[in-house]
């Protein structure tokens, strides 16, 4: 950064508001697609694990290995095959959500006390009804907790997709680094932190609203 | 198939194995900054976490630091450290990366060491006190040995997060394996990019596995039977 330059030049900020808004939108869209796709895949995997519990170990092993690969490295491993594209970004982002989501969806389902499950079966619930009316509603708090972690993690990872040219707030950060100009860099960094905190708070709120019975036991 | 051959050709080229941009030097740079950062993070976080756990105070801080750490996008942290390091006249490369990585490495160690010590069976601690052990002895001879595996799990998470994120240091002109990725992207030289990414991925997995082994070995012999059944699972960590 140039000597004496303030961290934020407000003129620049105000004249670039539409640009900043577009970056926020891109960031949210990339996050939304990743969480949506990740949840669908994780849900299907969790149902498979519910049917055949022996699948749990291999599924968490594979998703765990993916989770261990650093984000920039995973994107870079994909680039030679899928290019600098949104596909590359989303394959990486979705794979990172899987470990967290599968663990929490399975954990949510398994958190239902066996006597509750037995009673439901005794009352003639089918497997499908047991899942939708008993296991998923009772496991919802744990499942949403997983979604929270996945959302917050993904917001952070989406900044890295800016490096591979997929927009979002990371693009502002990269612009700041490349032009040696603090303002876009600080705005991109601060907004991505704010976005993570705001969405985390929103999901806590949603979780309390949809699972009011957990409030009594929450400290 | 052509691409695989290009990657092999890149790896086979002798100029990619020598000099400052050679693989050995880049791996060494990567390990140096990761190691120094991890040591700094552990030195800062471990004593605080253990003391919080021992005294039972500061739990709120210990838990919330973890949440904060997870919410902190690594690239954002690195970006914010750049103007700070420059205004302190520390230059590009090493120092901004170091300053960004230390706060990223602290939360897993702090939280795990707090939880590890706190969750030592209070009856055991009381029994130790009843046998006349002083506080320091209780901590060293009872709490720490029991807490060791979970503390090491925290160090592992921290170390893996640091090794992974050190890659981003190349964006602010740092060395390490991230150089191959950033330069490979800039020059559209995909074999370079791919090799860099592969090396980073392999390095993180090696660190992860090495610490997991260490974690198992650290289980105190008296506890080995009791904990054999609990699975060691990967925890969320800052990325």
More confident residue, A119 or B238: A119
Burial class (CB in 10 A: 0-12, 13-18, 19+), B226: exposed
Are A65 and B204 within 8 A, CB to CB? no
Question: What tokens appear for A94 in the block?
Answer: 């979705």
Least confident of A82-86, A178-182, B94-98, B225-229: B225-229
Average pLDDT of span A13-27: 90
Average pLDDT of span A203-216: 82
For chain A, give the mean pLDDT. Answer: 89
**Interface residue A153 vs chain B (CB under 8 A):** yes
Are B76 and A69 within 8 A, CB to CB? no
Of the pLDDT bands very low, low, confident and very high (cuts 50, 70, 90), residue B231 is very low
**Interface residue A198 vs chain B (CB under 8 A):** no
Contact B101, B160 (CB under 8 A): no
Of the pLDDT bands very low, low, confident and very high (cuts 50, 70, 90), residue B91 is confident
Pick the CATH number of A10-211 from 1.10.3720.10, 3.40.50.150, 2.40.128.20, 3.40.50.410: 1.10.3720.10
Looking at residue B224, its pLDDT comes to: 66
pLDDT at B45 over 90: yes
Least confident of A29-33, A66-70, B166-170: A66-70
Nearest to A174 by CA among A188, A193, A153, A192: A188
Looking at residue A2, its pLDDT comes to: 65
Give chain A's count of helices (H) and strands (E). Answer: 10, 0
Q: Residues A38-57: pLDDT tens digits?
A: 999 999 999 999 999 999 99
Residue of A nearest to B181 (CA): A76
Report the predicted TM-score, pTM, of the whole model to 2 decimal places.
0.83
Are B79 and A72 within 8 A, CB to CB? no
Element (H, E) at B223: none
**Interface residue A174 vs chain B (CB under 8 A):** yes
Cβ atoms within 10 Å, residue B43:
11
Residue of B nearest to A196 (CA): B71
pLDDT at B13 over 80: yes
The Cα of B201 is separated from the nearest Cα of chain A by a number of Å equal to 5
pLDDT at A148 over 50: yes
Of the pLDDT bands very low, low, confident and very high (cuts 50, 70, 90), residue B233 is very low
pLDDT at A137 over 60: yes
Average pLDDT of span B102-131: 90
pLDDT at B236 over 70: no
Q: What is the set of domains in chain B, with CATH numbers?
A: 23-222 (1.10.3720.10)
What is each CA distance from A23 to A17, A185, B45, B108, B175, in whole angstroms? 10, 12, 35, 31, 29
Looking at residue B163, its pLDDT comes to: 92
Average pLDDT of span B92-121: 89
The residues spanned by each domain of chain A are 10-211
ipTM of the complex: 0.80
Dihedral angle, C-alpha B194, B197, A178, A160, nearest 10 °? 120
Q: Residues A88-131: pLDDT tens digits?
A: 999 999 999 999 999 999 999 999 999 999 999 999 999 999 99
Residue of B nearest to A162 (CA): B75
Judging contacts by C-beta atoms under 8 Å, the chain A residues touching residue B205 are 65, 68-69
Are A77 and B163 within 8 A, CB to CB? no
Distance of CA B100 to the CA centre of its chain: 13
For chain B, give the mean pLDDT. Answer: 86
Looking at residue B49, its pLDDT comes to: 92
Are A70 and B165 within 8 A, CB to CB? yes
Residue of B nearest to A73 (CA): B197
Looking at residue B92, its pLDDT comes to: 82
Looking at residue B232, its pLDDT comes to: 41
Least confident of A5-9, A75-79, B15-19, B234-238: B234-238
Are B197 and A173 within 8 A, CB to CB? no
Question: What tokens appear for B89 in the block?
Answer: 């006249």
């Amino acid at each position: 950064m140039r000597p004496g330059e303030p961290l934020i030049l407000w003129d620049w900020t105000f004249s670039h508001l539409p640009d900043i808004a577009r970056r926020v939108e891109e960031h949210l869209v990339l996050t939304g697609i990743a969480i949506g796709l990740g949840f669908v895949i994780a849900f299907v995997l969790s149902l498979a694990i519910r049917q055949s519990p022996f699948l749990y170990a291999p599924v968490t092993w594979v998703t765990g290995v993916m989770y261990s690969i650093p984000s920039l490295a995973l994107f870079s491993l994909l680039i030679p095959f899928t290019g600098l594209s949104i596909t590359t970004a989303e394959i990486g982002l979705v794979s990172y959500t899987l470990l967290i989501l599968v663990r929490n969806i399975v954990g949510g389902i398994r958190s239902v006390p066996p006597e509750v499950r037995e009673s439901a079966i005794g009352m003639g619930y089918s497997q499908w009804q047991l899942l939708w009316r008993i296991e998923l509603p009772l496991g919802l708090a744990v499942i949403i907790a997983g979604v929270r972690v996945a959302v917050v993690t993904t917001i952070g990872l989406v900044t890295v997709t800016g490096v591979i040219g997929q927009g979002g707030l990371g693009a502002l950060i990269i612009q700041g680094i490349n032009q040696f100009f603090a303002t876009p860099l600080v705005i991109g960094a601060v907004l991505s932190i704010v976005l993570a905190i705001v969405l985390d708070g929103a999901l806590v709120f949603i979780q309390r609203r949809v699972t009011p019975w957990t409030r009594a036991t929450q400290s | 198939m052509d691409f695989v051959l290009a990657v092999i050709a890149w790896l086979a080229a002798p100029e990619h194995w020598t000099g400052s941009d050679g693989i050995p030097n880049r791996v060494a740079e990567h390990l140096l900054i990761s190691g120094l950062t991890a040591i700094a993070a552990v030195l800062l976080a471990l004593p605080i976490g253990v003391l919080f756990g021992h005294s039972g105070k500061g739990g709120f801080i210990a838990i919330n630091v973890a949440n904060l750490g997870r919410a902190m996008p690594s690239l954002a942290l690195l970006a914010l450290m750049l103007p700070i390091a420059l205004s302190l006249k520390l230059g590009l490369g090493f120092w901004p990366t170091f300053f960004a990585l230390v706060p990223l490495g602290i939360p897993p160690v702090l939280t795990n060491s707090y939880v590890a010590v706190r969750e030592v069976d209070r009856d055991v601690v009381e029994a130790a006190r009843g046998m006349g052990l002083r506080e320091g002895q209780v901590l060293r001879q009872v709490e720490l040995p029991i807490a060791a595996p979970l503390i090491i799990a925290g160090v592992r998470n921290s170390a893996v997060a640091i090794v992974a994120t050190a890659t981003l240091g190349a964006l602010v002109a740092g060395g390490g394996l991230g150089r191959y990725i950033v330069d490979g992207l800039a020059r559209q030289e995909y074999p370079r990019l791919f090799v860099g990414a592969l090396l980073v991925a392999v390095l993180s997995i090696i660190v992860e596995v090495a610490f997991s082994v260490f974690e198992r070995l650290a289980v105190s012999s008296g506890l080995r039977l009791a904990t054999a059944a609990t699975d060691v699972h990967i925890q969320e960590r800052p990325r």
